[in-house]
Amino acid sequence: MKNSDHVLNERITALKAERRAVILAHNYQLGEVQDIADYVGDSLELARKAADLTDVERIVFCGVLFMAETAKILNPDRRVLMPDPNAGCPMAAMITERQLAALKAEHPEAAVVCYVNSSAAIKAMSDICCTSANATAVVASIPADQPVLFIPDQSLGDYTARQLGRDLILYPGYCPSHHRILPRDLREQRAAHPNAKVIVHPECTAEVIALADAVGSTSQILRFCRETNAREFVIGTEVGILHRLRKENPDRVFYPASPLADCPNMKLTTLEKVLWSLKDDAYEVTVPAAVSAGARRSIERMLALS
């Protein structure tokens, strides 16, 4: 750890206690941000943690906007802070309220399953949310004879449809970081590391998923690497997770499927910004009451299945 990071960590720890704050960080954050957090996890784990928090006044959410919105929706009476308000999600920006309204009018009988990588407004217009960890369980909970409109991630929706043998109406959204992982990347990694197990995220394309040994959310990737006997792994998801994998499994070796699977928005949060956020209550995340009520319904339906 750099000396400057050590000083920042001490100041953040002191402010956190003084201001009764908790820091949540996604698995894709910078390593030093993960290390200062109270809880590190994927979208579902952090949504659960946000719902369970009691003795705190502030939640500092190190992730992207839709995650901080979810924390606010589940904690309406607490101050939710986001160290960098520019940390958005390209996939979430691919669907608007107008586009979803048009889809719902086109498919009036369909249940709308909304990936959590979406805005609070889109969640409020949906019937139930899902994450990459529980999308199959969420869709399976909907009667087999009812159409399902899956938004906005076509790759996760396609993977879920194939897992269940069920036709879904897919919206053409996607994660640019995961779509930068190409089939040739996995072939090259297998050739270079023939003893490595390959696990990829379901936000990857179907062609990439077909070449993997296993598919899972970030929490499922962590568990797979912890419980599998292999000593080497090729990881097909955003490269930020490599920090936690190496930290928790020092006796194992991890290779990124592609160094291009790097989300710039996830890397906007720094220790300095976490400190400023705690010090100045910057930047507070708010969700309009009407939107929050609808989004909370969709999120709680998901959590009830988890």
The CATH class that applies to domain 92-174+292-305 reads alpha beta
Q: How confident is the chain (306 residues) per 10-residue block, as mean pLDDT?
A: 82 96 96 97 82 87 96 92 97 98 98 97 98 95 98 98 98 98 98 98 98 96 97 98 98 98 98 97 97 96 88
Residue 83 has a pLDDT of 98
Instruction: Give the containing element (helix H, strand E) for 221.
Output: helix 218-227
The pLDDT tens digits of the residues spanning 254-306 come to: 999 999 999 999 999 999 999 999 999 999 999 999 999 999 999 999 989 87
Residue 3 has a pLDDT of 67
SS (H, E, C) 178-214: HHCCCHHHHHHHHHHCCCCEEEECCCCCHHHHCCCCE
Domain ranges within the chain, ordered by starting residue: 3-88+266-286, 92-174+292-305, 181-256
Asked if residues 278 and 60 have their Cβ atoms less than 8 Å apart, the reply is yes
**CATH-assigned architecture of domain 3-88+266-286:** 3-Layer(aba) Sandwich (3.40)
**pTM of the entire predicted model:** 0.95
Q: Do domains 3-88+266-286 and 92-174+292-305 have the same CATH topology?
A: yes
Long-range contact list for 208-217, CB < 8 A, 24+ apart? 208/181, 208/182, 208/183, 208/236, 208/257, 209/159, 211/183, 211/186, 211/187, 212/186, 212/236, 215/159, 216/132, 216/133, 217/42, 217/43, 217/44, 217/131, 217/132, 217/133
Select 181-256's CATH number: 3.40.50.10800, 2.60.40.1120, 3.30.360.10, 2.40.160.40.
Answer: 3.40.50.10800
